[in-house]
Structure 1
Amino acid sequence: MGAGVLAVLLLVYLVVAGQRAVMLIATGEPVAVAMGVALLVLPLVGVWALVREWRFGVQAERLGVRLEREGALPEEELPVRASGRVDRDAADGVFPRYRAAVDAPGADWRDWFRLALVYDAAGDRRRARAAVRRAIAEERSG
């Protein structure tokens, strides 16, 4: 829901920025034209980023639902401290199994997606996203 609201707000911003850009370009003054062109490029980059993130989310969700239907989601939960945060030291004991699965011959997208879920649960979003990207690529090629 929150992502949808942000996407709508971004689209409104992009439309307004695009209108302002056209107005600046229409003046014909060199500085205004340059600013208008720059203002057109930024919304295009924004649209590209929005579409890219939206596609990533849809593809990741599709794989997650598929893995859940297969009953192949990771079963154990990562150890949590009293504060509610994952105990990273204790979580290190969970990672080798999932890492070994993706390094083993015959590893497929399911192994990469499970690794991503474990990374995400541990709060390592960068590695989680990279593992999901790999899962998506593996699923496409397989």
Structure 2
Amino acid sequence: MNKATKVLLVIGVMVLILGFYFYLLGTRGVSLIQTGGAVNIGLGIGVILLPIIGVWIVGATLKAGFEHQHLAQRISEEHLELDVSELPRMPSGRISRDAADEMFQQVKAEWEKDPDNWRNSYRLARAYDYAGDRGRARETMKRAVALEREDAA
């Protein structure tokens, strides 16, 4: 069994476990509502909202993960992934901050020349991630996904 299959299996098992948990929460919420009384109905509605929010979060996370994996596969096929193999690393294994910042500046310069190219946005998102700016990495990856969709249409 290869690594990707193992990861998908783990994700599948976790989604099943979460689904069962959400089902249990939902049934408890319905039970609370059926018992009547303002407090029980209020608690029941609150408990029912938890699995609804949970399903939305799981779905959004899986969707984003599959979209990012799709872009990663395309970048790999086009041999455009960032080469970080030679960059100096800290004892933890992370790329040293100075090296990550230097790589980021190079990738940002490429992106500034063509910001509407999804490949440049993908590479910039990865550079943000290596530089430790996870928030900007997520936002830039969302942009790369949107640009790739426009490009494919």
Question: Normalised by the size of structure 1, how large is the TM-score?
Answer: 0.88
Considering only aligned residues, what root-mean-square deviation do their CA atoms show, in Å?
1.8
Describe the shift of the 1:6–1:124 C-alpha distance in structure 2 as closer, same or farther (beyond 3 A): farther
Q: Distance in 2 between matches of 1:76 and 1:17?
A: 45
Amino acid at match of 1:41: L
Gaps of 5+ in 2: 1-6
Is structure 2 residue 42 aligned with structure 1 residue 62? no
Does the Cα contact within 8 Å between 1:60 and 1:132 map onto a contact in 2?
A: yes
Question: Normalised by the size of structure 2, how large is the TM-score?
Answer: 0.83
The alignment-based identity, stated in percent, is 37
Tell me the matched-pair count: 142
1:72-109 Cα shifts (integer Å, max 9, x gaps)? 11224442124423210232111111112222246411
SS of the equivalent of 1:94 reads helix
**Runs of 4+ displaced beyond 4 Å:** none
Q: Distance in 2 between matches of 1:82 and 1:37?
A: 49
Which residue is equivalent to 2:147? 138
SS of the equivalent of 2:46 reads helix
Q: Distance in 1 between matches of 2:69 and 2:147?
A: 15
Does the Cα contact within 8 Å between 1:101 and 1:107 map onto a contact in 2?
A: no
Q: Distance in 2 between matches of 1:118 and 1:133?
A: 14
Is structure 2 residue 60 aligned with structure 1 residue 52? yes
